[in-house]
Amino acid sequence: MRKPIIAGNWKMFKTRDEALQFILAVNEQLPSREKVDSVICSQFTVLRCLVKRQGENLRIGAQNMHFADEGAFTGEVSGQMLKSIGVSYVIIGHSERRAMFNETDEAVNKKLLKAFECDLTPILCVGESLEQREGGRTEEVIGKQLELDLANLTKEQVKTLVIAYEPIWAIGTGKTATSQVADETCGFIRKTVAKLFDKATAEAIRIQYGGSVKTSNIDELMSMPNIDGALIGGASLKADDFVTLVKAAVK
């Protein structure tokens, strides 16, 4: 049995005071970490503040990192820097970074390798655009992303990796993929991992769905066999909603 994992992706939201209010409100309410992994991925400036106050059942993640250890990379943050302040997870290859910050599959692959070296758990995002889905190219696009992004990773690493399937057309649009479409594509991701590595690795890896997940659709999504959790943007910003979303994953 794979343990469910619910991760909030705060994107570029929340000041320090707002982040503090959130964590103080959720800490006591989150279900046990034995049953579900609860993660908040915040922007860099509040990471340390959240790590210091994370309760027993919450872990903190970043939304990006550089693949170098250090160097002349103005504005960047390394995996080692994240690890040194107690961060546990890092989102890699979010579609907003791929589209707006020119993040290539090659860079994503280097970041994944470095994240494992730094003992961070990566949440790798993959997904197709509306045009690609309508053109019947979803599997081709995601298959290629996985092949390039997961190159040179070991089976042991891939077993602990989290993959978030996020159709770009469903992110922040209010349009959720139907649970069938989401499950089918997560199933395809699992099959592809089996092909690239082996069946045991594919059975172990946790696959989230992301894209307009909210309290009203989480139950149905979580009931699908290939969906092990969710990566949640907008709906993770409110403390009560985040707690409801995590609790839904335990049922």
The residues annotated with a catalytic role in the active site are: 94, 166
Q: Is 95 exposed, middle or buried (0-12, 13-18, 19+ CB in 10 A)?
A: buried
| Smallest distance from ligand PGA to CB 214, Å | 8
Chain mean position to CA 70: 24
For residue 213, state whether it binds ligand PGA (rule: CB under 6 A). Answer: yes
**Site for ligand PGA (CB under 6 A): which residue of 61, 93, 167, 233?**
233
Question: Given 3-state DSSP classes, what are the helix, strand and coil percentages for the chain, each rounded to the nearest 5?
Answer: 45, 15, 35
The count of other CB atoms within 10 Å of the CB of residue 173 is 12
For residue 128, state whether it binds ligand PGA (rule: CB under 6 A). Answer: no
- Where in 6-45 is the site for ligand PGA (CB under 6 A)? 9
Q: Which stretch binds ligand PGA (CB under 6 A): 13-21, 116-124, 131-139, 205-213?
A: 205-213
For residue 211, state whether it binds ligand PGA (rule: CB under 6 A). Answer: yes
| Smallest distance from ligand PGA to CB 155, Å | 27
For residue 138, state whether it binds ligand PGA (rule: CB under 6 A). Answer: no
Pick from 81, 16, 25, 83: nearest CA to 58: 25
Nearer to ligand PGA, 2 or 175 (CB): 175
Nearer to ligand PGA, 19 or 235 (CB): 235
**Site for ligand PGA (CB under 6 A): which residue of 79, 122, 127, 210?**
210
Strands 5-9 and 229-232: parallel
Contacts of residue 128, Cβ cutoff 8 Å, sequence gap at least 6: 137, 138, 141, 142, 167, 168
**Site for ligand PGA (CB under 6 A): which residue of 52, 56, 106, 172?**
172
Contacts of residue 40, Cβ cutoff 8 Å, sequence gap at least 6: 7, 8, 10, 22, 23, 50, 58, 59, 60, 61, 236, 242
Nearer to ligand PGA, 58 or 232 (CB): 232
Residues that bind ligand PGA (CB under 6 A): 9, 166, 171-172, 210-213, 231-235
